[in-house]
Amino acid sequence: MHNETLSLESTPDGQSGFRPQISADALRHAEGTLVDKYGRRITYVRLSITDRCDFRCTYCMAEEMSFLPRDQVLSLEECLRVARVFVGLGVNKLRITGGEPLVRRDAMWLIERLGALPGLDNLVLTTNGSQLDRYARPLREAGVRRINISLDTLKADRFKAITRIGDLGKVLRGIDAARAAGFSRTKLNAVMMRGINDDEFTDLVQFAVDNELDISFIEEMPLGEIHGRSTTYISSEETRDRLAGRFELLPSTESSGGPARYWRIPGSASRIGFISPHSHNFCDSCNRVRITARGELYPCLGQNDAVNLMQVLRSGADDAALRQAVVDSMGIKPWGHDFTQQMDAPQVVRFMSMTGG
Ligand code: SAM
Ligand code: SF4
């Protein structure tokens, strides 16, 4: 059943006025699928399999990070069990993320099993690319459909400064390895930062075009205690205007099922996307939830309400109880987030590496 077929009623929603809410009747018909109280069907889960990373990107982590002890992170078996329950509820897309998912020991054990899960049509991965030269082929063989690779700069010294540790050459080899392994429509993710990488946006687009990659520019989000963001924030509009000076950009109606809005360059297959949590709120079509490495189910990236799935899993609950906890979480999915441009005050205290971008 799809959203459009659900009947909606207007009811007041706390902070933000009147929102369409799903009627009790429609809710009964939606049984067996995940539908929130605003009638949005949830078909996409982003699963963070570790909070650890081999980089320390300045916008994502503090220099000194303390990571979770092993027993406070979902085991790979627990991740698989949670994924099965979501797929049983109609979720057909799962993104593996982190932290850096490919630094989790035995990550491939999980990915191979997820790739073989009936009903999970679209298994995808977000990575910093540092391990891809080794893992691109096994990922492809395991059934991963598409990879997103973070790349904010093409300059080695700048790459080191932004990631504090990373080696650009290794990531570029990882991008080549993804293509050699047969991945197509690989997407680069670049966080836009004024005074840090904004002189390279056209070069990044040209790199994407030359290498038959898509690219999305991401507005920096106020997650975690990191200072100085208000000086580096750039809107998607500004970047698009700058790119328009060099490329002809045609608006595209295509969607990858995510919050990005796409543009095309005539004569190129590359899509240029903009993810704009500040300047364009994308909540009304939200179809996703996030699960952190410690098993918290966050119905919204920008809000702090969560359901503790680890507690449910470790209480000895059977799959029916786990499924019920997931269904019940729909009750706390808010209409949306309200990131403002007051970037220095973190409105959400989690780091992105915890929630899994
Ligand atoms: N380590 C992997 C990577 O870097 O692609 C996966 C996890 S990372 C948290 C996922 C995405 O979140 C990356 O594309 C990263 O650039 C983005 N990200 C991290 N912190 C961010 C922030 N404060 N604002 C916007 N995007 C952020
Ligand atoms: Fe690691 Fe990705 Fe965060 Fe960078 S953005 S520190 S690569 S988790």
- What are the tens digits of pLDDT across the range 163-186? 999 999 999 999 999 999 999 999
pTM for the structure as a whole: 0.88
Could you give the angle at which helices 76-88 and 107-115 cross, rounded to 10 degrees?
A: 20
Q: Which ligand 1 atom sits closest to the C-alpha of 149?
A: 5
- Domain boundaries defined on the chain: 37-355
SS3 (DSSP) at 270: coil
Which residues have any ligand 1 atom within 6 Å of their CB? Answer: 53, 59-60, 97-98, 100, 126-128, 150, 189, 191, 218, 220-221, 223, 352-353, 356-357
128 lines ligand 2 (CB under 6 A): yes
8 A C-beta contact, residue 288 and residue 302: no
Residues near 28 by beta carbon (within 8 Å), at least 6 away in sequence: none
Domain 37-355 has what CATH class?
alpha beta
Phi, psi (degrees; rounded to nearest 5) at 3: -50, -45
Residue 47 and residue 37: Cα distance in Å, rounded? 22
Atom 12 (ligand 1): residue with closest C-alpha?
357
- What are the tens digits of pLDDT across the range 115-143? 999 999 999 999 999 999 999 999 999 99
Q: Which ligand 1 atom sits closest to the C-alpha of 148?
A: 5
Q: Which ligand 1 atom sits closest to the C-alpha of 219?
A: 25
Residue 230 alpha carbon to ligand 2 centre in Å: 20
- What are the tens digits of pLDDT across the range 20-65? 555 555 544 456 789 888 888 999 999 999 999 999 999 999 999 9
Phi, psi (degrees; rounded to nearest 5) at 190: -120, 125
Which-ligand-closest: CA of 226?
Answer: 1
Residue 349 pLDDT class (50, 70, 90 cuts): very low
- What are the tens digits of pLDDT across the range 288-301? 999 999 999 998 86
